[in-house]
């Protein structure tokens, strides 16, 4: 993504979309023109090592729409001979976003969506730049300069079309939690709710299929399936590569009758906007910006109270209890952690035998914290129950200044 596009885009012609295919199910399938193989590019990003509206325009000529369920660049997949699992989703949205950084207060600078049907056939594609109203961050990674983004639409201006492409579909991405949380925060900033209820991570799917990969990078998956990357860290090309990777992965899972690693998405209803690190905003909306990593380790103070042990279901929380969080929350994670600390609880970054309680909205998720909680017999409750218990936290037995307990 470091190279600029061959044909410069005018400021407001920054998004493009592929029209819905025609109705002919037997139309010929154009072959995908691929450049000579040069070897997959290494990903420097740990996250990848994931209709209506005036802002959009198409990636292909609307007058030459392919047959139903087809796409000019990607032929449709063949369904397994023994049928398709009945519990698989009916539609997918393969998504990639590029951002000003990896922190929770960073912004989206470009987004691409490939819509796929139940069997993985590509229906259409869409791409747009987004003005982040701040410094674009790591230009050396995504290749988008302040000048290129200056005339791009703001997120609220493309939200309607983005919604039309995500609604009713499972969001598919590489390291999907990153793309999902960036999207959820952009919707929250716009006063809207992201229309996504489930997501699927291609890393988790590759691991479930036990693919022989040297690592979980997008480049490794692309090499495994023979997919050529043209511009690494370019939202449009990364989404295309993901769509081509996901199709055979989905087919393999269906042939094996495997359960897809679907996770629930919890849209943000309460969140805290943070100013860019390193300076104040200018009148034009841009501020001095310092490149940092997404969701850095927060140095939360340890509880001054001793650990009273595990939470007993049906009882009260008690000051000094060690609480861990996992997965999506409707209240921004940093707000939940701060409120827990203010109530006298100890926020733990991991789960151990000393953990009093794990809070998660997806207790069936195959995450490390959920797995360790099950192994240690740690009580698990959801976010709503935790917020209810936070209304009445029992005081600690010892005065502040105690030894903090066993954990």
pLDDT at residue 341 is higher than 90: yes
C-alpha separations of 278 from 54, 109, 274, 295 in Å: 35, 20, 12, 16
pLDDT at residue 296 is higher than 70: no
Highest mean pLDDT among 285-289, 298-302, 318-322: 318-322
**Per-residue confidence (pLDDT) for residue 78, from 0 to 100:** 54
Interatomic CA distance for residues 188 and 195, integer angstroms: 11
Rounded CA Rg of the chain: 23
pLDDT at residue 333 is higher than 60: yes
Lowest mean pLDDT among 158-167, 360-369, 385-394: 360-369
Q: What is the largest CA-CA distance in the chain?
A: 77
With b for 16 or more beta-carbon neighbours within 10 A and e for fewer, the 294-304 pattern comes to beeeeeeeebb
Task: Cite the beta strand spans of 291-404 per DSSP E.
Answer: 322-326, 346-348, 357-360, 380-381
**Per-residue confidence (pLDDT) for residue 126, from 0 to 100:** 97
The helix or strand, by DSSP H or E, that contains position 30, with its residue range, turns out to be none
**Per-residue confidence (pLDDT) for residue 52, from 0 to 100:** 30
Q: Where are the alpha helices (DSSP H) in 192-288?
A: 202-208, 218-225, 235-256
**Per-residue confidence (pLDDT) for residue 35, from 0 to 100:** 33
Give the helix, strand, coil percentages of the chain, each rounded to 5: 25, 15, 60
Interatomic CA distance for residues 238 and 178, integer angstroms: 14
pLDDT at residue 148 is higher than 70: yes
pLDDT at residue 286 is higher than 60: no
pLDDT at residue 57 is higher than 60: no
Q: Is 278 left (phi over 0), alpha (psi -120 to 50) or beta?
A: left
pLDDT at residue 2 is higher than 70: no
User: Which sign does the torsion angle of CA 302, 305, 307, 311 carry?
Assistant: negative
Over residues 90-104, mean pLDDT: 93
pLDDT digits (tens, 9 = 90+) for 27-40: 333 333 333 333 33
**Per-residue confidence (pLDDT) for residue 403, from 0 to 100:** 47
**Per-residue confidence (pLDDT) for residue 198, from 0 to 100:** 95
pLDDT digits (tens, 9 = 90+) for 306-327: 999 999 999 999 999 999 999 8
Lowest mean pLDDT among 136-150, 184-198, 276-290: 276-290
Q: DSSP string spanning 107-141?
A: -EEEEEEEEEETTS-EEEEEEEE---SS----HHH
Question: Is the model's pTM score more than 0.85?
Answer: no
**Per-residue confidence (pLDDT) for residue 267, from 0 to 100:** 86
**Per-residue confidence (pLDDT) for residue 91, from 0 to 100:** 98
Over residues 239-246, mean pLDDT: 97
Highest mean pLDDT among 3-7, 333-337, 351-355: 351-355
**Per-residue confidence (pLDDT) for residue 357, from 0 to 100:** 96
Lowest mean pLDDT among 79-83, 153-157, 357-361: 79-83
Provide the pLDDT confidence category of residue 393 given band limits of 50, 70 and 90. Answer: very high
Highest mean pLDDT among 72-86, 261-275, 390-404: 261-275
């Amino acid at each position: 993504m470091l190279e600029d596009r061959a044909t410069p885009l005018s400021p407001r012609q920054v998004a493009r979309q592929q029209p819905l295919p025609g109705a002919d199910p037997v139309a010929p399938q154009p072959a995908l023109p691929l450049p000579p193989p040069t070897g997959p590019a290494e990903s420097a990003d740990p996250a990848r090592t994931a209709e209506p509206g005036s802002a959009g325009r198409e990636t292909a000529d609307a007058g030459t729409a392919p047959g139903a369920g087809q796409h000019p660049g990607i032929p449709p997949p063949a369904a397994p001979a023994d049928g398709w699992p009945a519990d698989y989703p009916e539609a997918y949205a393969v998504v990639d976003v590029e951002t000003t950084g990896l922190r929770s207060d960073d912004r989206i600078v470009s987004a691409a969506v490939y819509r796929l049907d139940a069997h993985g056939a590509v229906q259409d594609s869409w791409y747009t730049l987004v003005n982040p109203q701040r410094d674009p961050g790591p230009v050396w990674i995504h290749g988008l300069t302040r000048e290129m983004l200056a005339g791009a639409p703001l997120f609220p201006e493309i939200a309607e079309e983005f919604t039309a492409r995500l609604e009713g579909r499972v969001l598919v991405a590489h390291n999907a939690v990153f793309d999902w949380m960036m999207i959820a925060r952009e919707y929250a900033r716009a006063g809207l709710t992201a229309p996504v209820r489930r997501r699927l991570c291609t890393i988790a799917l590759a691991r479930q299929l036990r693919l022989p990969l040297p690592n979980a990078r997008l480049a490794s998956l692309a090499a495994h399936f023979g997919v050529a990357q043209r511009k690494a860290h370019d939202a449009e090309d990364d989404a295309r590569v993901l769509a081509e990777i996901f199709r055979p992965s989905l087919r393999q899972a269906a042939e094996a009758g495997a359960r897809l690693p679907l996770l629930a998405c919890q849209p943000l209803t309460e969140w805290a906007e943070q100013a860019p690190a390193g300076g104040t905003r200018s009148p034009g909306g841009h501020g001095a910006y310092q490149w940092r990593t997404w969701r850095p380790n927060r140095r939360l103070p340890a509880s001054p109270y001793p650990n009273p042990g595990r939470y007993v279901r049906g009882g009260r929380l008690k000051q000094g209890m060690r609480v861990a969080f996992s997965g999506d929350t409707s209240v921004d994670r940093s707000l939940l952690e701060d409120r827990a600390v203010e109530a006298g609880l100890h926020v733990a970054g991991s789960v151990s035998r000393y953990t009093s309680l794990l809070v998660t909205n997806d207790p069936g998720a195959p995450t490390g914290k959920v797995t360790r909680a099950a192994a240690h017999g740690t009580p698990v409750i959801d976010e709503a129950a935790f917020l209810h218990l936070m209304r009445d936290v029992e005081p600690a037995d010892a005065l502040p200044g105690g030894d903090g307990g066993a954990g």
